[in-house]
Chain A
Amino acid sequence: MAKLKIEDLEKIAEQAKSKMTVREGAGRAKITVHMGTCGIAAGARKIMDTFLKELEINKVHDVIITSTGCAGLCNKEPMVTIELKGQAPVKYIEITEQKAKKIFSDHVMKGKLVQEYAYAIGSEKIL
């Protein structure tokens, strides 16, 4: 390892940023892939891989990808929920790899809702 210069601190921090974003649970956006048995059967694994790949290709370090169980809409799987910081979560249904890529580039990266694939805005009330 070479001797550090002050500006190297930022570079090291930048390199570790994506894992720190995950650890701190405080990303700019959160992508939740629904991975219940129904989701997995409908191809949720491929959707998860697509999002992970998009993060890698676009060198995005401030977005969290997580999974959750069945959302109750088994016939509309695979589903994902996109939640931009400070905004209501948006649920997308019947996701394919192409749709996932478009949602990533439009909604996650540019903050533009993809109306044609969206199913609902907001979450159920939990009592």
Chain B
Amino acid sequence: MKPYRIQVMVCSGTGCVSNHAFEIKEALEKEISKNNLQAEAEVITTGCNGFCGAGPLAVVQPDGIFYQLLKVSDIPHLVQEHFLKGRPVKKLMYVPPEEKTPIPKMSEIPFFADQTLIALRNRGMIDPEKIEDYIARGGYKALAKVLTSMKPDEVLAEIKASGLRGRGGGGFPTGVKWETCKKTHGDTKYVICNADEGDPGAFMDRSIIEGDPHSVIEGMLIGAYAIENVTQGYIYVRMQYPLAIRRFEIAIKQAREYGLLGENIFDKGFNFDIEIRRGAGAFVCGESTALMASIEGRPGEPRAKYIHTVERGLWDKPTCLNNVETWANVPQIILRGAKWFSSIGTGDVSVDAWGGSKGTKVFSLAGKVGNTGLVEVPMGITLRDIIFKIGGGIKDGKKLKAVQTGGPSGGFIPESMLDLPVDYEELTKVGSMMGSGGMLVTDEDNCMVDMAKYFLSFTQDESCGKCVPCREGTKRMLDILDNITMGKGKEEDLVMLEELSSLVVESSLCALGGSAPNPVLTTLKYFREEYEAHVHQKICPAHVCKALITYVIDENVCLEVGHGCDVCRKQCVDKAIIGETKQTHRIDLSKCGKCGICYDVCKFNAIHIE
């Protein structure tokens, strides 16, 4: 086989695909053959690269040149200049905010340079639909290692010693979970991969599956071997993830063809196979007992966990459920050792399995941050470093207000606590959580009451309704928040919110109710003055809550500076602006729907919010 000198790694994660990555790929292939380079340059589609804000993107190897925001029309020039003449194209490179010089190499862009990859180690390096690519990067070596040279107990001991904890939200020590399942009597046991990622804005698990599905399969194989008496595994993935499902299907098919799933794997007498179960996308089905009920064909509702699922789970058999990211860490721990893994992170897990947070965590960085995307960072890194070093700081030079970790039921952490390390216990202490890895950055333009309302409306909507406190309590809380943002809040509302919150937290069966009030509680704690402004002065300091703001045109500025340009009147959807060209304008408040379009389009700053 003739070697290629250029490998063009085109990101085909969901974000880039929806920005026409496949068209970029086609254009690249067309231009490459037009320039007669087809024997020298190969175009590969990879999983999510992580820098979603820069997509559609491609990395040109071996030099690691990073091209961003690609358009089909850029491709002819790119192929000719870079591939043919060896001159990387500067105008398609990443330029850091407030700087002018582009950074050609991916490894030198701060977004990438400060990350540590374990779960995402193959991102952008392999074609996820080719098992050979995974194997070429050391794939299935960990499986070979455990089957030839480790007893199941030794595998378990390694995972325990590594300090790996559940990446889906709970942070339960993985080794302890495996051990309990292993010790429970039973000749039929199951392992499950929880791929029902439901947090809005979170896409860690989806990206791992789309970019490196075999790492999850290999992790499950190793888990099944360590726990013993496991011959069947299930992957529960929501049907809203069609690309992830497709990549899993391809990966499972290839693994079966190579005999890596099925009977007598590597001729070592070990049998294990995996099936995919599709969920309908209910948020609560990410909860382990609800998920298992859904696999069994029952309504996805959680049950009380007096008896843990590791003892009686799927079809009442001992079942070990781990999240996608947790499984993806397993092969690397086996290959590189527990010592290596536990050297990354915080605390000490040698005596107490809960004594620290080890390894890395993948976060989806979203909101008002410069670089949005998927980042994998070592445990113990500060929130400040994630937001300002990797994330490139706050957009448009605004001031950071708070960061929410852990998805819709995570808490908001104020600017003053940004030096907090990423650690399960530290985040819980301040009222938030690690969760599955959502990270939402808010700035001075966000109203914290509105944010709390937004996330509560999500969890309220997703409450399965089984527990009255969760079903009714969150509804009443939402009513109160609604009232506050409408300017109808009362002094006693804030106390009532706190009381309802603790009631919902304490008397719900599962973590949905148990954590849903977090956004409310933390905003009440750290941003109480914003609530008080809404309740007492009936104002929204961030100018977000529509009922509490009015748009006003400064008639002098409008006439003297803007000369009555009339743009606002033409754009107004409610026809609420009165005036004519070259005359001053004003807003008819009885008609104004407060959409804010006039405020955005006025070039003369004649419109302000009161």
A interface vs B, CB < 8 Å?
Answer: 1-6, 9, 12-13, 15-25, 27, 30, 32-37, 40, 48, 52, 55-56, 60-61, 64-69
Quote the shortest CB–CB distance from A38 to chain B (angstroms): 10
Q: Which of B59-67, B415-423, B433-441 contacts A (4 or more CB under 8 A)?
A: B59-67
Task: Flag if B84 contacts A16 (CB, 8 Å).
Answer: no
Q: Is B293 an interface residue (CB 8 A)?
A: no
Evaluate whether A3 and B5 lie within 8 angstroms (CB atoms) in the complex, with A35-B85, A36-B86, A69-B85 already known. no
Q: How far, in Å, is A67 (CB) from chain B's closest CB?
A: 3
The answer to whether residues A52 and B62 also contact, given A6-B144, A12-B132 and a CB cut-off of 8 A, is no
Tell yes or no: B298 within 8 A of A by CB.
Answer: no
CB-defined contacts of B64 to chain A, threshold 8 Å: 25
**A-B Cβ contacts below 8 A, count:** 114
Stretch from B234-242, B256-264, B463-471, B565-573 that touches the partner: B256-264
26 example contacts (A-B, Cβ-Cβ < 8 A) are as follows A1-B254, A1-B258, A6-B147, A9-B141, A18-B1, A19-B7, A20-B137, A22-B5, A22-B61, A22-B62, A23-B7, A23-B9, A23-B44, A23-B125, A25-B61, A25-B63, A33-B86, A34-B86, A35-B85, A36-B86, A40-B85, A52-B3, A52-B5, A55-B3, A64-B5, A67-B5
List B contacts of A52 (CB < 8 A). 2-3, 5, 39-40
Instruction: Please tell me if B4 contacts chain A, counting CB pairs below 8 Å.
Output: yes
In the bound complex, residues from chain B placing their C-beta under 8 Å from that of A67 are 5, 83-86
Cα distance A68–B83 when bound, in Å?
Answer: 9
Q: Which residues from A are CB-within-8-Å of B83?
A: 67
The answer to whether B136 touches A20, judged by C-beta atoms less than 8 angstroms apart, is yes
Q: Is the CB of A5 within 8 A of B135?
A: no
| B576 within 8 A of partner (CB) | no
- Given that A25-B62, A36-B87 are contacting pairs, would A9 and B144 also be in contact in the complex, using a CB cutoff of 8 Å? yes
Give chain B residues whose Cβ lies under 8 Å from the Cβ of A65.
3, 5
| In contact, B3 and A13 (Cβ under 8 angstroms) | no
| Contact, CB under 8 Å: B3 / A56 | yes
Instruction: Give the chain B neighbours of A35 by CB distance below 8 A.
Output: 84-86
Report Cα–Cα, A14/B28, bound state, in Å: 28
Query: Nearest residue in B to A55 (C-beta to C-beta)?
Result: B3
* CB–CB A18/B148 < 8 A: no
Q: Is the CB of A16 within 8 A of B132?
A: yes
Q: Which residues of B contact A13 (CB under 8 A)?
A: 135-136, 138
Q: Is the CB of B135 within 8 A of A18?
A: no
Main secondary structure of the interface of B (DSSP, over half): loop
Residue of B nearest to A65 (CB): B5
Q: B258: which A residues are within 8 A, CB to CB? A: 1, 3-4
* Distance to closest chain A CB from B59 (angstroms): 9
Chain B residue nearest in CB terms to A20? B136
16 more contacts with CB within 8 A, not counting A23-B62, A61-B3, A67-B84, are A2-B259, A3-B259, A4-B140, A5-B267, A18-B3, A19-B3, A19-B42, A22-B3, A23-B7, A23-B9, A25-B62, A48-B40, A52-B39, A55-B3, A66-B6, A67-B83
Whether A22 touches B267, Cβ cut-off 8 Å, given contacts A30-B62, A67-B86, is no
Please indicate the chain B residues that have their CB under 8 angstroms from the CB of A32 in the complex: 86
A24 neighbours in B (Cβ, 8 Å): 61-62, 125
Q: How far is the CA of A3 from the CA of B4 in the complex (A)?
A: 29
Q: Which residue of B lies closest to A18 (CB)?
A: B3
Q: Does any Cβ of A come within 8 Å of B133's Cβ?
A: yes
B86 with A22: CB separation less than 8 A: no
Let me know if B388 is at the binding interface, CB within 8 A.
Answer: no
Best-surrounded residue of A1, A4, A17, A33 (most CB of chain B within 10 A): A4
- B599 close to chain A: CB less than 8 A: no
Task: List B contacts of A19 (CB < 8 A).
Answer: 3-4, 7, 42, 136
B250-279 Cβ-contact flags toward A at 8 Å (1 or 0): 000010011110000011000000000000
Is B257 in contact with A22, judged by CB distance below 8 angstroms?
Answer: no
The B102-143 residues at the A interface (CB cut-off 8 A) are 125, 132-133, 135-141
Closest 6 CB pairs between A and B? A67-B86, A3-B259, A16-B136, A69-B87, A25-B62, A65-B5
Residues on A with C-beta less than 8 A from B85 are: 35-37, 40, 67, 69
Closest to A4 in B: B258
A40 to B35, CA, bound (A): 13
Residue interface bits B46-83, CB-to-A below 8 A is 1, else 0 = 00000000000000011110000000000000000001
Cβ of B40: which chain A residues have Cβ within 8 Å of it?
48, 52
Q: Would you give the 0/1 interface string for B409-451, flagging 1 where the beta carbon is closer than 8 Å to chain A? A: 0000000000000000000000000000000000000000000
Inside 8 A of B3's CB, which chain A residues have their CB? 18-19, 22, 52, 55-56, 60-61, 65
Q: Which residues of A contact B7 (CB under 8 A)?
A: 19, 22-23
Q: Flag B127-168 by CB within 8 Å of A: 1 or 0 each.
A: 000001101111111001001100000000000000000000
A12 touches B135 (CB 8 A): yes
CB distance from A40 to the nearest CB of B (A): 7
